[in-house]
Amino acid sequence: MNKTVKVSLAFRKLPDAAYGDFAATVHTNLYSHSVFSAAPVTEADLQAAITAFRTAKTAQATGGKEATAAKNQRREELQVKLKDLAYYVQIACANDLEVLLSSGFDATKSNRVPSVVTKAVVERITQIHTGVALVTAKAERGARSYEAQAAEILGDGTLGPYGPPVQQSSSRKIPVADLTPGKMYVFRARVYGTKGEISDWSDAVSQRVM
């Protein structure tokens, strides 16, 4: 008898930065598949909730208790939408693990020993267009997809927040866009396995963007 695959709700416990990244991954992946065409939350509504949460998170840094309360409220509103989508994906995937994972959600772990995904390695960063960097990671056996993101190195040498992750099935030339020409950035990547496992982030690689 086949085991029932289930959508993991562990995202509810993610820290704020990772929570926003997770929601962005779902937004990127779920609406690109026709099997999820009847999603109970529209693509625009989910993006609006993500933007509101990230804006509130940024404001929290200097806004005191009221800003923290507002951030928490925006997170709860985003979580309601993500949970609705998670329950929908649970049904729509029809017990197909690959379809479930294609939504951007993760599956609950079984009692079986999960396969190991090797820590990602960024091999090179190239540019063809201004403000867009193409990140190539080392191809890994058992990889379902690859994800890359970048953070600006600020004038005082500290690292700014990482931008939204970009995910694709190929490890080659993952396009990280909306970068500021002339600025130094660090880039990192990670690997998603076929059973829902996620590798550690790669070591960061720095490069000036043209």
Q: How far apart are the first and last CA of the chain?
A: 55
The torsion angle over the Cα atoms of residues 102, 105, 111 and 113, rounded to 10 degrees, is: 60
Tell me the C-alpha distance between 54 and 69, whole Å.
14
Decide: 157 and 186 in contact? Cβ < 8 Å: no
Amino acid at 205: V
Nearest to 90 by CA among 4, 31, 193, 196: 4
Tell me the C-alpha distance between 11 and 13, whole Å.
5
Tell me the C-alpha distance between 36 and 84, whole Å.
13
Amino acid at 132: V
Instruction: Give pLDDT tens digits along the chain (210 positions).
Output: 456 889 999 999 999 999 999 999 999 999 999 999 999 999 999 999 999 999 999 999 888 899 999 999 999 999 999 999 999 999 999 999 999 999 999 999 754 444 567 899 999 999 999 999 999 999 988 888 999 999 999 999 999 999 999 999 999 999 999 999 999 999 999 999 887 788 999 999 999 999
Residues contacting residue 42 through CB under 8 Å, at least 6 positions apart: none
Reduced to 3 states (helix: H, G, I; strand: E, B; else coil), residue 32 is: coil
**DSSP H helical segments within the chain, as ranges?**
16-30, 43-92, 97-102
Instruction: Answer whether 0.85 is exceeded by the pTM.
Output: no
